[in-house]
Structure 1
């Protein structure tokens, strides 16, 4: 009696290697699947375009103008940044503190023991998404205000030197603001603390410095290098030297302003990365 022999079936190996693109995909799904993310991004666009159209329609900043003013056009198109940066900051904080509050961060860090790739993936996904929405907002604001300003003979096209880079600079600033807040949220691991710290840097410091300049001389020298003032510099037309803007402070050139905002963001991310590596989830 012969025994039947079974041919062993080949073992199918699944490629389950942990790669950075897979971590990126995971963070993209987590961020874009939240309803709050979609509402926040939609609010950035709606506020930005709506405020720009309202300002252009009412003629604010254009009083007495009889010829196209590229600087005024940029200011009108980017006026929504004032509110957009606050929404971007809150979104950045909640991207990480939301996981801490639900306990999901434990599963995330268990899947990625190195931890730092998680923060890098969150930063990249958040920056690209918010910057893209910022670009839609800024160029959409320019497009929405163009017919209004054109009827008054004040419109300026995108071919105007420096106009498109200024709008792009505003979009990148929103993206960096979100990542800056992400770093603070990772450091503090608290939604309330992260939001308070982020808005403190964005809103409180620019308010306090002018008052401080009445008592000390160095406050005026420091003012151009604070986060939000450097962000304003990113969204303006370049000139041969720093100029006094409507905020009453000297601003940096756009490129230097971008480097300053990037430096603030890297410091925030570095502090967050140190905390993420050293503390338990």
Structure 2
């Protein structure tokens, strides 16, 4: 290579503008859009979650119309639209779908080797991770908001004719809808952190399932306070607390966290996940 060619190459590098954050977002969107199975799975999971919640309330209509006789010495059962309309099964489904999507966006690039091309084009790794975080949290947040909003209004519209439905202005309802939506991007960010740490598809998904569903089984019961408090500060336990109807008899038992504590815990999980992803990607070799 001649001296003139070297000079021109260096001049091109100097004058080439640095990629804007919007360019990074567009690049991440192209990567995600090219994997059609990923967002189709998220969309399908959102649809199934809505159907699960609506079907749960629809099944309960018979029992609302013909309630069973209360046991001797017990008060008649009061139906809770929040507990049935924003159910745990649908939330668990969205947690797995969002967490898997978050993990795939990280370990997928390492598996295919595309991460080398990405960092060669954009040496600023923090910018790349920031674009991934914003895109994934935005997409999963929209999915969570759709599931939460549609489930709440659809189920309570069904219950309105039975005079047991709730309004979004009722105590605890807006909080329940927001938290039911917020847990979805939180789980997506946790999935990204696991994908960055493990860089393996099976290990990342298994670790996600263990964190979300196996660990809560190990930290239950009211006998030991420290065990119970660990369990109530796991990701899905936060949304369970925030969706409890204040006017119902449902509780999380002894040593239950406060509403503020659960909001802070959810935010800490999301923040720690983002920091972990950023630090791991910056310090590890590709």
- Give the SS at the match of 1:55: helix
CA deviation string 1:149-184 (max 9, x = no partner): 122221112222331231121111111110111111
* Counterpart among 127, 135, 142 of residue 145 in structure 2: 135
> Once superposed, which parts of structure 1, at least 4 consecutive aligned residues long, lie more than 6 Å away?
65-68
Q: Distance in 1 between matches of 2:141 and 2:160?
A: 28
Partner of 1:98: 108
Aligned position for 1:193: 203
Aligned to 2:229: 221
Q: Structure 1 residues 208 and 122, CA, compared in 2 at 3 Å: closer, same or farther?
A: same
Give the structure 2 partner of residue 114 of structure 1.
Answer: 124
Q: Count matched residues.
A: 261
Segments of structure 1 that go 5 or more residues without pairing to the other structure are 1-13
- Give the TM-score normalised by the residue count of structure 1: 0.82
When you count helix as a share of all residues, which structure comes out higher?
2
**Alpha-carbon distance in structure 1 between the residues aligned to 2:282 and 2:233:** 29
1:259 equivalent in alignment to 2:269: no
- State whether structure 2 residue 92 is matched by structure 1 residue 82: yes
CA RMSD of the aligned region, Å? 2.9
In structure 2, the residue matched to 1:231 is 239
Q: Does the CA-based 8 Å contact 2:83-2:245 persist in structure 1?
A: no
Q: TM-score, normalised by structure 2?
A: 0.81
Matches within 5 A, 1:1-281: 16-59=17-60, 64=67, 72-79=80-87, 80-210=90-220, 216-237=224-245, 244-245=251-252, 250-281=255-286
Question: Tell me, which stretches of 5 or more residues in structure 2 are unaligned?
Answer: 1-14, 69-75
